[in-house]
Amino acid sequence: MSLTLEEIAKIPEIYLIFLPCNRVHDLFGNGTRHRPHAAFVKVSKELNGGHYVGFIRGFDGHYGSHFKALLHMIRLKPTLQKTIMDSPPITINEAPDKMKELLMMPTYWDLATRIYKAVYFFLCILHLGDNKEPGFDRFLCYIRRMEQHLVDNAEEINWADMDCYDAETCILS
């Protein structure tokens, strides 16, 4: 499974979705830039009942981790957008304009969500391999659900129908 996810992650369109994950983590998530991180922590606590919910960094050696980082970033979408919209200019000026524009763009979030939905069951199977418990019945269940998901959502996953030009220009800039 890990090799499959590695091959999926090498697809240029998918790799372009991963690039902002680590950059957003560096800006808002790890505290090296104090103002954006502090604003993000404040908004995160506000939206999550007083608990800070942060990022997961994707590592190049573990391709499943890029997809897990993407899931966390999708989950943090409202927090990121509220941080960008409500923070004072002196705080948010440390973020590049293109990054702010990308995080406010619905096309980027739509692409990220579609990619994650397409590989979700791969990640479940990969997680089963890391467990010490036997789980062959769950493995078969995930395989069947993955096959059914791919059949049901073939048109949604089709890259030819997606207009990703706007997101691609923001990511590459």
Question: What average pLDDT does range 98-113 have in this prediction?
Answer: 89
- pLDDT reported for residue 61: 59
Mean pLDDT in residue range 16-25: 84
Q: Which residues contact 157 (CB under 8 A, 6 or more apart)?
A: 114, 117, 118, 150
Structure confidence by residue, pLDDT tens digits, 23-60 = 888 888 876 778 888 899 999 999 989 998 888 877 66
d(CA 154, CA 37): 39
Q: Render pLDDT for 62-75 as a digit per residue (tens, 0 to 9).
A: 667 788 888 889 99
Domain count of the fold of the chain: 1
Q: What is the DSSP string of 100-123?
A: HHHHT-HHHHHHHHHHHHHHHHHH
What is each CA distance from 75 to 5, 28, 113, 148, 154, in whole angstroms?
A: 21, 14, 10, 24, 24
Which structural domain, as residue segments, surrounds residue 124?
2-172
